Amino acid sequence: MTGVKLTEDTFGEATDFKGRRQPVRRFTWTNSLGTTVQIINYGGYITSIKLPDKTGKIDDITIGFHDIHGYLKPENRYFGATIGRVANRISNARMIVEGVTYNLNANNGPNHLHGGTVGFDKVFWEASVRGTELTLSYHSADGEEHYPGDLIANVTFQLTDRNELLIDYKAVTTKVCPVNFTNHSYFNLAGDGAGAEELYKHLVCINADRITQVRDGGIPTGETPSVAGTAFDLRVPTELGRVIDAVPDSPGFDHNYCVSRGAERGRAFVASVWHPGSGRTMEVYSDQPGVQFYTGNFLPEGDTLRGKGGFIKKHGALCLETQKFPDSVNNENFPSTILHPGDQYHHSVTFKFSVRK
């Protein structure tokens, strides 16, 4: 007998890139452990995750906004969004697939980031509920953001009584194209208004011996150096504040880690985060070969962006985005993001929450 309940209400109205205005549907899970999760069908955003700390105090541990208007602003930095068709960066907004060159929309300097000008974070998804499972579906038309093929995407979300948030991505295509989805939630286990002071106290562990080395603009060089002896070595729990300023040529972490895998198949341990003050912990498990670790380096430094927990500022939260490697479509030695007609893209990730007394 499950103690999980799923309800629905409205989160305002929005207009999509085709000019269609409609209500935004919001879905709320609650479980027997006092955890609640909220997701909207515009952009597939996780807008809230609330859970108790070691004293029973409940806080929202994700960065975001009180209403839909915040998510429509250009200042929104993908706070909790479902990302696609291709997460992360594609260098020079250009790719060659099956001998054909595609020039994508450049929305991050000269590069293509998180699906382009109108990625999956800026569209309405069709929502269906089965029991306590929510499935969001989207048809990305051939040529949308200059990608080839009609793509049908489905993302299924589920909160369990074991305090696991399960996300399962699937997609099929009519033409050969790259596919690489992720979720872009920003976490601060001390609470979404706690800021950098508390984020620096988090202990972070990432199960990776290597990273993808980057050059200007966060574009991989193709090399995957060892983390040993560097600030990137997070193979044992490490206080974030002790290493964040030691990241070379960067105001913090914004790097893809190559997840270490043994003989196991399916989901492997990717990362863990623990905030000793609240006792809250988060573990991440995934079947993807990479995880982008980002510490909110490019969030505002001043009081310019107000979120649901106060002003959103630099280093106020961290992201752990499971995915294939950045710019894989332009690096033959990276895990392939190419999806063929007749095949199915599949990506599974679990965020498991708990409390240490």
The span from the CA of 172 to the CA of 324, in Å, is: 17
Tell whether omega for the bond before 21 is within 30 degrees of 0, i.e. cis: no
226 is in an annotated binding site: no
For 291-302, how does the pLDDT look when each residue is reduced to its tens digit (9 = 90+)?
Answer: 999 999 999 999
pLDDT band at 1 (very low <50, low <70, confident <90, very high): very low
Q: What is the pTM (predicted TM-score) of this model?
A: 0.97
For 230-254, how does the pLDDT look when each residue is reduced to its tens digit (9 = 90+)?
Answer: 999 999 999 999 999 999 999 999 9
Q: Which pLDDT does position 249 carry in this prediction?
A: 93
Count the residues in the chain: 357
User: Does 169 score more than 70 pLDDT?
Assistant: yes
Q: Which pLDDT does position 261 carry in this prediction?
A: 80
67 is in an annotated binding site: no
User: Does 140 score more than 70 pLDDT?
Assistant: yes
Backbone angles phi and psi of 343, in degrees to 5: -100, 170
CA dihedral for 170, 174, 178, 183, sign (positive or negative): negative
Kindly report which listed range (24-28, 140-144, 213-217, 276-280) carries the lowest average pLDDT score: 213-217
Backbone angles phi and psi of 121, in degrees to 5: -75, -5
Give the catalytic positions in this structure: 184, 321
pLDDT band at 2 (very low <50, low <70, confident <90, very high): confident
Domains of the chain plus CATH, in order, are 5-183 (2.70.98.10), 195-355 (2.70.98.10)
Backbone angles phi and psi of 291, in degrees to 5: -145, 125
Q: Which pLDDT does position 118 carry in this prediction?
A: 97
Question: Which is it for strands 58-60 and 46-52: parallel, antiparallel or unpaired?
Answer: antiparallel
88 is in an annotated binding site: yes
